[in-house]
A = this chain, B = another copy of it.
Amino acid sequence: MRRHNLGTLLGHVHHNGEISRAALTSRMRLNRSTIAALVAELESLGLVEQRTPSGARSGAGRPSLDVRPGRIEAFVLATELRVDEITVARVGLGGQVLARASGSTPVSRDPEQVADALAVILTKLAAEAPARSRLVGVGVGIPGVVSDDGGLVRFGPNLGWTDVPFVRQLADRLDADVEIRAGNDADLGVMSEHIRGAAIGHDNVVFLSGDVGVGGGVIAGGRAMPGVGGYAGELGHMRMNPRGPVCRCGNRGCWETEIGAHAVASAVRFPHGDLAGLAARLASVRRPNDRLRTVGRSLGAGLANIVNIFNPEVVILGGVLRDVFPVVRDDVLSAVVKGALAAPGEQATITLPDLGADSVLLGAAELAFEPLLEDPSAVLERR
């Protein structure tokens, strides 16, 4: 119980960056002395520190102390693994990105080679951290179907992976006694947007991660929707057209064949495999051509399905869809209005991530922080 409360309190500090003891008392529904004792324990671990808020009035009544991340400078290493690029960040307790690095995904996409490349980047980034700081977890966002416990990539068609024990492969290469957790990229995207971004305060949210493949992360009724095995949300494989092109999954006409990065690149006659370049190219489009508008209409038609299926408040377009949407906005939205039933259509907003390109990366950071927020002292006792 105490362990649980310690973690929950640390979670409030993490999600808010800095929070008053008064706010902790009301949010956790515990009395002031219990909160004070929990804060003291986290302070003795070095995870938080207390200070008098800068705006506090002098005179009558003591102001409530603010609690914020402490001298240990706990951080995680977060990774977004994409088909052509690996992005990594060092993220501190409180959610700030402290440093970044990136590299190309090995062209072979062989899991061992990918683990090699990622381990090099992670090790370098960890080595650059101040000596007093402390690594507390590693999180990886993966474009594929990841098992419930995060250990196994069951299916990553665009990486060519099937049943890859990527977490173990990465652990073998990292010299750090911390937990490594992996998750589906879109599931992580919706998590971070829900905690820190465009979906704060919303209980029914769909996040789309658009890369070569398109994944979906869903929050329904305020909670993640993993399905029985953690595989839910494979929205990119909705069949949109029985005569459509063949998808990497083997079927015809999956949504991602119509709106994924390859379809988008073809529409603007840009080479496949350079997502950063594709984003720049899309940003320079003044008037979308017919093929790009077709992508927009297909995006809208699938979004209408999503609106009819989930009745969400917000649908967030991540990855390449973030770059596509502004260019063909009218085509997308008119297809949504046409395809969605009136009642759920009225309630849904289609929007871009508040965290920009970082939704998945910051979701991987949240995943990496989970062990610390479940049991702060146990994580610090390791090594």
Which A residues form the contact surface with B (CB < 8 A)? 145, 147, 154-155, 162, 202-204, 216, 220-221, 223, 225-235, 237-243, 249-251, 301-302, 304-305, 308-313, 338-339, 341-344, 347
Contact = CB atoms under 8 A, between A and B. Distances in A.
Given A233-B309, A341-B249, A242 B239 contact: no
Contact of A347 (B204, B228, B235, B311): B228
A309 B342 contact: no
A213 to B, nearest CB: 11
A305 B216 CA distance: 13
Given A221-B226, A231-B311, A233-B309, 8 more contacts: A155-B341, A155-B342, A225-B225, A226-B311, A228-B312, A231-B341, A231-B344, A234-B341
Copies of this protein in the complex = 2
Nearest to A298: B242
Contact of A204 (B227, B241, B302, B311): B227
A215 to B, nearest CB: 11
Contacts of A225: 220-221, 225, 310
A13 B226 CA distance: 32
Contacts of A216: 309
A344 B234 contact: yes
Contact of A239 (B233, B240, B249, B347): B240
A29 to B, nearest CB: 16
A195 B120 CA distance: 52
Given A220-B227, A227-B220, A309-B232, A342 B301 contact: no
